[in-house]
Amino acid sequence: MNRFEEHGEELVAVRQDGRLKQLLRIHLGPPELLQTQETGPAPVLTPALFSAYRDLRTLRYDFPVVLLEPGAARIAEPLSDLIDGLIDAHTQDGAAGERYRRDLYQLERTIKEVAAGGKAGSLKAFWTEAANRVYAQTTNDGHRKQLRANLQAARSELTSDGIVACCDGQIARRFFMHAWQCIQTEQDLHARETLDELIAELTAIVDADRMRSARATSADALRTAMGDEHAGGIDFNRLSSVLRSSKHQRPLKSNRRKRLHAVLKVLETQRRQLGAGNGKSPRRGGHEYRAIDSCIEALKLLDAEMQRIVELFRAVRIARLEVENRYDEARHDAFFAAFDQEQLTPEELRGLPPLFVHIAGPALDAENKSALIEILSSDLPIKIVLELRAIPDTLPLAAGQAGFGGWSTSIGSMATGLRTAFVLQTSASHLPRLESEVTAGLRYKGAALYCVYTGPDGELGPVARYLRCAGAVEGRAFPCFIHHPGYGSDWAQRFKLLVNPQSEEPWPIHHFNYEDSEGRAMSEEIAFTVVDFLALDPRYAVQYVPVPPEDWHPNMVPLGDYLALQESETFGKVPYLLMVNDSNTLHRVIVRRGLVAAARRCAELWRSLQELGGIHNSHALRLLEAERQRAIEQGNVGHPATEFATEPAAVTAAVPEEVEPSPADRAQVSEAAAAPVRDQAYIETELCTSCNDCTERNSMMFAYNDEKQAYIKDAGAGTFRDLVEAAENCPVCIIHPGKPVDPNELGVEELMRRAETFN
């Protein structure tokens, strides 16, 4: 059944319904279609589900976060969790306990206000400033006295301090640099202990040799060592002779002495570069404690580090042989003379100090892309944070703007396919909750990639950065997942979806409560999609068109419901989004078809991640269905509905057969449509949505009238193939190719068969 026959009645309905036709033109047409009709600035609208979160000052969430000092049990802790811990540890019940809880919540709100001012500071410093503000706001002397006692008692319970960080444009860099330094401090401690032990053992051998030397055993040296007060009656010349003649006092051979001094020099130099152990001194020249902004530079630095690490482990191996008195010059001299990175064991290679690379922005030049892939394909201990400040889209944008689903936004998924790299994709809003996953990648001995969405620079509008970042995860625009090669050998162990809300669903569903124009309480279930998230980006404002209530139509469908429909079921329907203005007035906003296409692509990517994470896995479902059918055929089940209850609907739902309309029905539809003669090409101009598909294909054959609706200007100005392909690509099936002007056109028979669908 061709598309005209399938939707014939709907076409008639659209033709007779001017209001619906206009809504379809808004949805299907290009953004510039209505620009000339604008009478003023469009209202500032936000998705309805954001309306309850406009003022984050009244909400408790994961920011600000306290970046705890090295040595603490955690790398970072949300301020709200820290305050809750202090409240839980308080032993008073009743009114006193309630007063303590309220005082700490008041302090928490004030610390958030202090931190929001933009200045950096420690928790204890912010605590003092916030406490003073709270005291100043309390006018009752009795309350102020109790407040001071409560806050001082809570302050005394703080076991550690740290920097207070908000969810701002620098949070990704600050969070990862802090985690990096904490782990490096921990690893430096282990390295210091190892080197200190070796240095002490080698020093003991060298010191003992020095004590056996001719100079150290001379009569004068012995007299000086004993001191005059203890030298009475001792013949130091005789003592010197005895010591020199003892077989146990023979000095080390010259070659061994030189070897020990050379090894000690290397170990002591490496030890000095590790600092004093206070976690504040940069190590190895300082470059590991700074962020490198280039993958190419990281590879160059690692080459230099490889030479240092070869020298270090050459010295370590010699030192251990010497301590155990197992160094054999005949065997070992030649081996260590040719010692290079090929002789390093996997464990020694892990001793390479990881490098930290931070790349801000969505773009990488060709050289850095190549270097990035080289790093991720290797076992090199380079940790890369790729910070994305905007998630682009394939919709038409200004020149130079990237597209949604581009290279930078898909690199996380691409990197998991390499299997050797640790990968964590997340949003800045979720960093505090993924602390253990962040540190797991920094501890991983190979390459690690962190893809982090942090929100755009500059003015963010009515929605805070934290909500934008959370919305990227919520709307499936930037799902959270981890790939850890150390977790196991298969995908089920290595790959996990993390903190994605309602991860088994295509889109998260939320209840939305509101009042209608008559004040009645209403409630709807709304899907939060990538289109809700993109509504926060002013670049796409033209893709959202508010419709006044008097123009609302029964064929307007909530976007979540629209996306759940098959493409054939969307004919004549207009998807809309619920949005609110500053005064919380509800608007229906038509979503243009470009956004719908972006949402469908996003849903497909999410579906792939679900399968990878073991959710609704198609292979498992096929096996389940095959097993169910086998069991039915063997008579092992009484009724299919009682067995294999998991996932039955997704697999066993019957598809109704298409019903071919009768000739009478076809005639009725054709008559209602009042189509011209089938042999002539024509367009149902009044139903045109001005999508530009046909006019861009052949502007001599297709043109627009004064109302910017398409008609066939000259059917002979192109080929019959142009007509057929234009008909096949028309979103509302209103182009009818008729019969070819040139019956000898190449491939005309096949084209005529394809044209029958639309004639």
| pLDDT value at residue 72 | 85
Helix (H, G, I), strand (E, B) or coil at 47: strand
**CB-neighbour burial class of residue 284 (10 A; exposed 0-12, middle 13-18, buried 19+):** middle
Beta strands (DSSP E) in 142-298 are: 162-165
Tokens of 534: 């993109």
Pick one of 3.20.20.70, 3.30.2130.10, 3.30.70.20, 1.10.10.10 as the CATH number of 1-41+675-759.
Answer: 3.30.70.20
Gap between the Cα atoms of 452 and 449, Å rounded? 10
- Ranking 287-301, 393-407, 727-741 by mean pLDDT, the lowest is 393-407
Mean pLDDT of 43-66: 87
Of all residues in the chain, what percent carry a pLDDT higher than 70? 79
| pLDDT value at residue 221 | 63
| pLDDT value at residue 644 | 37
* pLDDT, tens digit, 9 for 90 and up, residues 1-51: 445 455 556 666 666 778 888 888 889 887 665 554 444 556 688 999 988
| pLDDT value at residue 190 | 81
Mean pLDDT of 525-539: 91
End-to-end CA distance of the chain: 12
Neighbours of 234 (CB within 10 A): 13
| pLDDT value at residue 130 | 94
| One-letter amino acid for residue 529 of the chain | T
Query: Phi then psi for 76, rounded to 5 degrees?
Result: -150, 155
Gap between the Cα atoms of 185 and 162, Å rounded? 15
Q: Which of 432, 357, 354 is nearest to 75 (CA)?
A: 432
**CB-neighbour burial class of residue 12 (10 A; exposed 0-12, middle 13-18, buried 19+):** middle
Residue 505 reports pLDDT greater than 60: yes
Tokens 């089940």 label which residue? 637
* pLDDT, tens digit, 9 for 90 and up, residues 624-676: 778 778 878 777 554 443 343 333 333 223 333 333 444 444 434 333 333 44
* pLDDT, tens digit, 9 for 90 and up, residues 222-246: 566 666 655 566 666 665 665 556 5
Q: Which of 459, 476, 450 is nearest to 391 (CA)?
A: 476
Higher per-residue pLDDT: 78 or 461? 78
Residue 292: which pLDDT band, with cuts at 50, 70 and 90?
confident
Domain ranges, ordered by start, for the chain: 1-41+675-759, 64-166, 173-348, 358-497, 618-652
- Ranking 228-242, 479-493, 678-692 by mean pLDDT, the lowest is 228-242
Q: Which of 547, 533, 553 is nearest to 595 (CA)?
A: 533
Tokens of 530: 């990538």
| pLDDT value at residue 81 | 94
| pLDDT value at residue 318 | 92
Tokens of 510: 């939320």
| pLDDT value at residue 438 | 96
Residue 216: partners with Cβ closer than 8 Å, 6 or more residues away? 210
Residue 396 reports pLDDT greater than 80: no
